[in-house]
Amino acid sequence: MSEWRYWLNEQRGTLTGLALFVVMFAVYAANHPAGFTANVVHTAANKGVLLAFVAMAQALVVITAGIDLSVGMIFVLTNCIASWIVVGAAVPTALGVAAVLMVGALCGAINGLLVIYGRLQPIVATIATGAVYFGLALLLRPFPGGSVNETLADALTGRLFGVVPSSLVALTAVVLFVWLPFKKSIVGRAAFAAGSSEQAAFMSGMPIRRGKFAAYLLGGLLAGMGGLFLTFFTYTGEAAYASGNAYTLWSIAAVVLGGVSLYGGRGSAVGAIFGAFAARTTGDMLFAFDVDPLWQPLLQGIVLMIAVSIGSLALLRVRNRLDWFQ
């Protein structure tokens, strides 16, 4: 087998996510009254980028064979904080941005500590911390409100050279400066190894704890970036419970669509981004085809169910049935 086929094999999940998105977006744009224009792309990018950040956060944790049910609430909490402190002149704004991102990372770090050192199951630990993060958000913003530095917000949600959505540029930068270094680092490899086979990783003397901790921490950071962008889009902060939950749920969907294995050890945050855009496009497609909004959740649910089922086809080939349960 030649080099590129191994590459193809490694990237299969991500490429599937990409293909899924391309096909869906093509169908959507072709049926959009305005067609494939810079405006349509811009709107789609800005809608999708929020879920993309949250999905990347989820992907990092899922790779370690964990799950983060608090991502949506970190997203909401950082939105509320940003609506207080990302204001004013250049320097206070920059400090505000840094503080918001630090809060995100801190939330992720708390999740990581509970899971790794507290030995709690990720699903339980993050449900609990998610409730705490939402509680804080509600105290900060009992009612929707606040503001944000609009110059910065418009710059990051507008278009570069009148064509490229700047939110996509920001997303690309995050991939280049957060995801790729993580993937290439030793801690990143330890995170993958822990997700694939924690026992083997331990036997091989890998820094499992550091790897998992880094994944949770960076996950919090990325969810915080999502919260920041939400503030840039809406100019306000809101402790929206339903929205936080929806983001958590759809982040898991996006991760699956983007080829990240829920069993851990395999996948990429880039795949999760494609998954997020694909998930967003399902909603937009229903709109383009003029489907009754009442039907949307049901149809999206069916799409999600089919996607998840495809992921478990491999189980049909198992020859020792006890392997099904491992």
Partner 1 sequence: MTAAETPPPLIRMEGISKRYGGVRALENAHVEVAPGRIHAILGENGAGKSTLIKIIAGVVAPDEGRMLIGDREVTFRSPAEAAAEGIACVFQELSLIPDLSVADNIVISNPPHRFGMIDRRAQRALAEEALARAGAEDIHPRAAVKDLPLSRRQMVEIAKALASKPRALILDEATSALTAGDVAKVFAVLKRLRQEGLALVYISHRMHEIVELADTCTVFRNGRNVATFPAGSRSNSEIVQMMIGREYSNVFPARHRRPVEAGKAPVLECRNLGWSDRLRDISLSVGEGEVVGLGGLEGQGQRLLLLALFGVLRGMSGSVLVDGRPVTINTPTQARKPPLSMALIPEDRKTEGLMLPMTVRENLSFAALDQVAGGGIIDRKKEQQLIDDMVRLLEIKTAGLDAPVGALSGGNQQKVVIAKWLMRKPRIILLNDPTRGIDVGTKQELYQLLRRLAEAGAGIVFYSTDYDELIGCCDRVLVLYDGRVVRELKDGEISERALIASALNVDEGQEGTAA
Beta carbon nearer to partner 1, 163 or 184: 184
Cα separation, 22 vs 185, whole angstroms: 30
Do 228 and 251 meet the contact criterion of CB atoms below 8 Å apart? no
Do 166 and 43 meet the contact criterion of CB atoms below 8 Å apart? no
Token code pair at residue 119: 């030995």
Is position 117 an interface residue for partner 1 (rule: CB under 8 A)? no
The pattern of x and - marking residues 135 through 174 that bind partner 1 according to CB under 8 A reads ----------------------------------------
Q: 105-137 burial by CB neighbour count: b if 16+ within 10 A, else e?
A: bebbbbbbbbbbeeebebeebbeebbeebbebb
Give the nearest distance from C-beta 254 to partner 1 in angstroms.
20
Cα separation, 257 vs 304, whole angstroms: 8
Beta carbon nearer to partner 1, 104 or 188: 188
Beta carbon nearer to partner 1, 139 or 200: 200
| Among 192, 213, 232, 247, interactor with partner 1 by CB under 8 A | 192
Do 237 and 231 meet the contact criterion of CB atoms below 8 Å apart? yes
Beta carbon nearer to partner 1, 156 or 206: 206
Is position 10 an interface residue for partner 1 (rule: CB under 8 A)? yes
Cα separation, 251 vs 244, whole angstroms: 11
Do 285 and 27 meet the contact criterion of CB atoms below 8 Å apart? yes
Beta carbon nearer to partner 1, 185 or 312: 185
Is position 66 an interface residue for partner 1 (rule: CB under 8 A)? no
Give the nearest distance from C-beta 286 to partner 1 in angstroms.
35
Is position 177 an interface residue for partner 1 (rule: CB under 8 A)? no
Which residue has 């694939």 as its token pair? 196
Is position 310 an interface residue for partner 1 (rule: CB under 8 A)? no
Is position 313 an interface residue for partner 1 (rule: CB under 8 A)? no
Is position 318 an interface residue for partner 1 (rule: CB under 8 A)? yes
Q: 155-185 burial by CB neighbour count: b if 16+ within 10 A, else e?
A: ebbebeeeebbbbbebbeebbeebbeebbee
Do 289 and 263 meet the contact criterion of CB atoms below 8 Å apart? no
Question: Residues touching partner 1: how many (CB under 8 A)?
Answer: 34
* Positions in 197-216 near partner 1 (CB under 8 A): 197, 199-207
Beta carbon nearer to partner 1, 213 or 229: 213
Token code pair at residue 261: 């294995």
Judged by the rule CB under 8 A, the positions of this chain that interact with partner 1 are 1, 3, 6-7, 9-10, 181, 184-187, 189, 192-193, 195-197, 199-207, 261, 265-266, 318-322
